[in-house]
A = this chain, B = another copy of it.
Amino acid sequence: MDEFQLIRSYFQPDARGEGVVLGVGDDAALLQPAPGQLLVTCVDTLVAGVHFPEDAPPDAVGHKALAVNLSDLAAMGARPRWFQLALTLPEIDEAWLAAFSSGLHRLAAEQDVALVGGDTTRGPLTITVQAMGEVAPAQALRRTGARAGDRLYVTGTLGDAAQGLALWQRGVRSAGGDDPAGFLIDRLHRPTPRMAAGRAAAGLARAAIDISDGLLADLGHLLEGGEGLGAVLQADSLPLSPAYRAHCEDSLPGRAALSGGDDYELLFAVAPENEAAFQTALQHVPAGCTCIGWITEDSAITLQGDGKAQVLTRQGYQHFN
């Protein structure tokens, strides 16, 4: 099998996506943007052994490579449309490729986003996905713009992926179903991009970010988008899954919920005057959306709970540290 056969076997969907004038197979793809929309584009790389365990299930790797990019589009309020895949492989392993491409294509079909091109090269296992979406200019969500007094909302639950990683590293290999460990490991390997929440919040939230680096680190980025801003987080309001609560070894909310990465939930800053409309728009979003605190003029991030207030550092996952 050479690289052209590989592309034909695994990465050439026969159904042409909407707006795809020319897809996989030429020097470049030709796409038809929707009139009046902004193009939203992002790129994220997963390196084996850094962003996913070397022994992660390949279908989960395919899922996650696309999911982390869709999460970035969701954080902008965008509708996802197309993506490209740059895949660097140490060798051709057909079983691995079949599972990887199956995980990738399943999520792509679920989210109605079309693979339109890519590149296949030989080298250490590295997966770069570049995703494109569209949003109306007035609806785009940015990291900047949050103000003191804005309410903070987060989708889904916090810290599950970090707990899933801890379990995986201890050798636990459950997946899915009713098993709490399986739930947490699925949250690590198969994050759900919060597209519906991002779209519902578009035009209603004042600022948004996805919390791929952990709540505190990404809240820090959101606060940097204003001048000398801080935040109060209410410990009892942080959304925690039953599985997380069952496995948490710290006192709740626990370090994983505050600083663990890979959750891919969305964090929103919402102006008080928009809060009712925001709540209405988000109420039927599958992931749910919870108010966890508010933005302050004091530059600290403070955790309130049990009648105490604790100042937190803005820590999170960083490469090269």
- Checking B6, B88, B123, B135 against A30 with a beta-carbon cut-off of 8 angstroms, the contacting residue is B135
Known: A2-B320, A3-B320, A6-B320. A29 touches B21 (CB 8 A): no
**Interface pair B43/A119, CB less than 8 Å apart:** yes
A32 beta carbon closer than 8 Å to chain B: yes
A25 beta carbon closer than 8 Å to chain B: yes
A33 beta carbon closer than 8 Å to chain B: yes
**How many monomers of this protein are in the complex?**
2
**Interface pair A43/B2, CB less than 8 Å apart:** no
Q: Which residues A203-247 have CB closer than 8 A to chain B? A: 208-210
Interface segment, A71-79, A163-171, A283-291? A71-79
CA of A142 to CA of B23, assembled, Å: 11
A31 beta carbon closer than 8 Å to chain B: yes
Q: How far is the CB of A92 from chain B (nearest CB, A)?
A: 5
Taking CB atoms, residues of chain B closer than 8 Å to A16 are none
Taking CB atoms, residues of chain B closer than 8 Å to A251 are none
Interface segment, A44-52, A103-111, A149-157, A253-261? A44-52
Q: How far is the CB of A137 from chain B (nearest CB, A)?
A: 7
**Interface pair A45/B320, CB less than 8 Å apart:** no
Q: How far is the CB of A171 from chain B (nearest CB, A)?
A: 24
26 A-B residue pairs with Cβ-Cβ distance under 8 Å, sorted by A, are: A2-B319, A22-B142, A26-B143, A26-B144, A27-B71, A27-B73, A27-B143, A28-B73, A28-B76, A29-B41, A29-B42, A30-B140, A31-B41, A33-B33, A41-B84, A41-B116, A43-B86, A43-B119, A45-B86, A45-B126, A47-B123, A49-B123, A86-B128, A86-B130, A92-B320, A128-B128
